[in-house]
Structure 1
Amino acid sequence: MSGAPGAAHRVAAPPWGAGDPYADALRTGHGPLFLRRGDGWLLPLDVERWCAAADPVDLEVLERCEGAVLDVGCGPGRLVAALAARGRPALGIDVSEAAVRHTVRRGGQALCRSVFERVPGAGRWDTLLLMDGNIGIGGDPGTLLRRLAQLAAPAGLLVVETAPLDIDERVRVQVVHTGGPGGTAGSPFPWARIGTPALLRCARRTGWRAVGQWAAGGRCFAALRSRRASTAAEPANSRAVISSQRAR
């Protein structure tokens, strides 16, 4: 999970950090952890899977990746670590310092920052990942997709994990941990949930074209290509130059 935009892409304060429910769950490797809407509805967050090694569904996604990979909202870094173990250039970004530390401990490269801040290699990333519902970052999928179009290489690939139903929802949520006496809750922040049909409609308006969709293990995915044309003679999938990949 990564940061949220404000007016003119002003970066909001991270909705969680050291001592918050999300950071605590990453330290222990388990929940129960949820996103809670204002009406009390709870969306389970699969902390155990995020903290484990990449599973077969994840590995199928990674097989589709091309060149240098940017994992937006990398969480505890299972995908970045799996790519690094294969010798693939990859960088994770996340607003959670705990998530970045976890990623680095696993052997991945990660930076603590929002996707709406300066990102190394902007305009040269061959593949971008929005896994685990991270299309919801900032509460506005259109704004997020336009930002990712700026980060992608010409004809770059974007893989999005979507909600496994036809939904297009904008909400304010809190991260809550329901274990222990009374539980704990983080600060409210904007979020979105979007299924594949709504994503494809949004993609057409934001500089992306659909090139595939699939489901595996109860999870749904869509692959998009940047419509931005190359201004150089190099191939669209040439490896991006990744700089400043030191974890903060």
Structure 2
Amino acid sequence: MRAPIGPSVSAPPPAAWAGADPYSAALRTGRGPLFLRRTDGWLLPLEVERWCARADAVDRQVLDRCEGAVLDVGCGPGRLVAELATRGRTALGVDVSDAAVAHSRGLGGQALCRSVFDPLPGEGRWDTVLLMDGNIGIGGEPHTLLTRVAQLLAPGGLLMAEAAPVDVDERASVQVTDSPGRAEPTEPTGQAGHPGQSGGHPFPWARLGTPALLRYAAGAGLRPVDQWSVGGRCFAALRTRTPSSSAEPANSAAVTSSQ
């Protein structure tokens, strides 16, 4: 399948928050520090340097498993779509941050400045969708996100999702910050989230370990086919159902591999 990539893939006008938040500044420099901060002050470090570098060995193992045309949801600075482009693969990244999209294109990847919940090219025809680097948290409602991903995938299509390396099922309001000190509280914007969408304001986010990811995926009609851990990171491969597999139980066991 060849998803439409070309004239239809053009960035909309910049969003009002783009270009001034800590996330955009970190992507422009290629380095942190950068954190997600919960309202209780707990910090989750964000791996800006790894995201802005080229795909590493762990990334490449995930990309080796991808099939057909690939949509990278929350592509960030674009290392994965750039790596797929060097392999001659059809791939598109989507991200709400102008800085992320610009960085992706600078690396040679195709990228579109848009939310996963907006209309996207090739809906229902993507062979593989990527949710890497914590992007299972986008919007703060995993079932809603995974249901949307299932809509984007072709029948029998493949989701490659990265889970937290701990058993967690958490939804929280977070802010992006470049300082580990406690920030002054600000009013929520009501925007559904991605690190690039904060502008310093709270937004909803989720963290899922593999067990929680599989539970929500089953509710969205995605069946697990593999899961593995490597380099301190955890991944799961899941498929949308085809008409011939619609009678399969949602909790069918995944094949577990170790690398």
- 1:76/1:100 contact within 8 Å kept: yes
The within-5 A match list for 1:147-186 is 147-178=148-179, 186=200
The whole-number CA distance in structure 2 between the counterparts of 1:39 and 1:17 is 26
AA at the equivalent of 2:219: R
Amino acid paired to 1:165 = V
Residue 134 of structure 1 is matched in structure 2 by 135
The answer to whether residue 209 in structure 2 is matched with residue 195 in structure 1 is yes
What displacement does 1:14 show?
Answer: 7.0
SS for the counterpart of 1:116 is coil
Q: Which residue of 2 aligns with 1:100?
A: 101
Count of matched residue positions in the alignment of Structure 1 and Structure 2: 217
Give the equivalent residue in structure 2 for 1:38: 39
In the alignment, is the contact (CA less than 8 A) between 1:93 and 1:115 conserved in 2?
yes
Instruction: Give the structure 2 partner of residue 223 of structure 1.
Output: 237
Distance 1:42 1:89 in 2: 36
Contact residue 159 and residue 238 of structure 2 kept, 8 A: yes
Deviations 1:205-246 (A, max 9, x none): 11100000000100000010001438xxxxxxxxxxxxxxxx
| Identity within the alignment, % | 70
- Conserved? CA contact 1:29–1:51, under 8 Å: yes
| SS of aligned partner of 2:35 | strand
Alignment-mate amino acid for residue 173 of structure 2: R
Matched letter for residue 178 of structure 2: H
Q: Determine if the alignment matches structure 1 residue 49 to structure 2 residue 50.
A: yes
Q: Deviations along 1:74-93, whole A, 9 cap, x unmatched?
A: 00000000000110000000
* C-alpha distance 228-147 of structure 1, shift in aligned 2 (>3 A): farther
Question: 1:101-139 CA distances to partner (integer Å, 9 max, x unpaired)?
Answer: 000010000000000000100000000000000000000
How far off its partner does 1:202 sit? Answer: 1.1
Number of the residue aligned with 2:250: none
Could you tell me which residue of structure 2 aligns to residue 120 of structure 1? 121
- Output the CA distance in 2 between the equivalents of 1:205 and 1:227: 12
Cα RMSD (Å) = 2.1
Aligned position for 2:227: 213
1:65 match: 66
Cα 1:20/1:78, change in 2 over 3 Å: same
Amino acid at match of 1:187: H
Distance in structure 1 (CA, Å) of the matches to 2:46 and 2:151:
29
- Structure 2: which 5+ runs fail to align? 1-13, 185-197, 245-259
1:16–1:186 contact (8 Å) kept in structure 2: no
Report the counterpart of residue 19 of structure 1 in structure 2.
20
Partners of 1:106 and 1:34 lie apart in 2 by 24
Highest RCO, 1 vs 2 (Cα 8 Å, sep ≥ 6): 1
Comparing 76-85 with 201-210, which one deviates more in the overlay?
A: 201-210
| SS class of match (2:243) | coil
- CA displacement 1:46-98 (0-9 Å, x = unmatched): 00000000000000000000000000000000000000011000000000000
Structure 1 residue 17: deviation in Å?
Answer: 2.0
Partners of 1:99 and 1:137 lie apart in 2 by 15
For structure 1, the 5+ residue unaligned runs are 1-12, 231-248
List aligned pairs for 1:76-87, cutoff 5 A.
76-87=77-88
- Mark the CA change 1:205 to 1:15 in structure 2 (over 3 Å): closer, same or farther: farther
Name the amino acid aligned to 2:153.
A
What's 2:10 paired with? none
Cα drift, residue 179 of structure 1: 8.1
Distance (whole Å) between structure 2 residues aligned to residue 76 and residue 30 of structure 1? 12
One-letter amino acid of the counterpart of residue 218, structure 1? G
The one-letter code of the counterpart of 2:217 is A
